[in-house]
Amino acid sequence: MRQRAPKRPAAERKRLILESAQSVFAESGYANSGTEQVARAAGVSASALYRYFPSKRELYLATLRNAGPRLQALWAERAQRSSDPLEAIRLLGQEYYDHLQGRSSYARLWFQALGDADDPDVRDAISANFTGMVDVIAGLIATAQARGLARKDIDPRIAAWHFMAIGFTFDLVHHLALDGELDRARVEAWGHLYIDSLREAPHAPSNDESIPAQGRALPVRQPGRADRPGRGGDPLPQVPASTPDPVGEAHGGGADG
């Protein structure tokens, strides 16, 4: 007589149901998915599924609430392995891009869920997902600031939302099948650009120090210097000195300190 396969523990069965639900809801969205599809994907009966989740809506909400913390925990674990918090952020962004290229259901799940955000419970689950990831990145930036690795004049949370915006662009490009717009070389360059915008400069040159041309992001014309032969245009005029205002600030504004 054929023996039955051993029964899975309840915790493992629930995990399989949630993982299967993530794939099903990511592929078809909430409205076009059924619990029967999830049950088949998880290898359980529909009645077994309903013992864990009394309705499709409860299953959907549980799937959303389960997916976010799993990624946040993974990010936090990866971050602890790096001695440089900013480098950890760069690697997290790069790994996220690579994960998307592997046809991950995670990002597609959240894109699908955005269409259901008029449901307050769905909206809360989405919000918790994104703010949780912002917490991880903002914490890394704050740590970098405390170690003197990141600029003190930036708000860690705003910078973390900037990071999320970059990731959202990865998602958008991928879901629109525009992957050629962002190949890995471009993503790596973008990552370095973002991290460089956060890093504390090792040394700020004084006014009389010259900056090597290769150190500049863009070539800078020197005021008052005649253009080289063969180029059109006049030398840049000298900027007249400004008259201080009542609080001692110069009109016309420049970069702070």
> Distance (Å, rounded) from C-alpha 22 to C-alpha 84?
33
> Distance (Å, rounded) from C-alpha 26 to C-alpha 41?
13
Structure tokens belonging to residue 77: 């674990």
> Distance (Å, rounded) from C-alpha 104 to C-alpha 106?
5
Residue stretches of the chain with pLDDT short of 50: 1-5, 204-257
- 94 C-beta neighbours (distance < 10 Å), count: 15
Structure tokens belonging to residue 72: 């946040």
Q: Distances in Å between the alpha carbon of 151 and those of 141, 148, 160, 196, 202?
A: 9, 7, 14, 10, 10
> Distance (Å, rounded) from C-alpha 78 to C-alpha 8?
30
pLDDT score for 174: 86
> Distance (Å, rounded) from C-alpha 50 to C-alpha 58?
10
Helical pair 85-101 and 105-114, crossing angle rounded to 10 deg? 90
Phi-psi region of 158 (alpha: psi -120 to 50; beta: other; left: phi over 0): alpha
pLDDT score for 1: 39
Full set of structural domains in the chain with CATH: 62-198 (1.10.357.10)
pLDDT score for 191: 94
Nearest residue to 70 (alpha-carbon basis) of 37, 105, 44, 94: 105
The distance from CA 27 to its chain's CA centroid, rounded to whole angstroms, is: 22
Q: What is the largest CA-CA distance in the chain?
A: 99
Convert 135-162 to b/e letters by CB count within 10 Å (16 or more is b). ebbbbbbbbbbeeebbeeeeebbebbbe
pLDDT score for 125: 94
Q: pLDDT for 141-188, tens place per residue?
A: 999 999 999 999 999 999 999 999 999 999 889 888 898 898 989 999
> Distance (Å, rounded) from C-alpha 41 to C-alpha 129?
25
pLDDT score for 124: 96
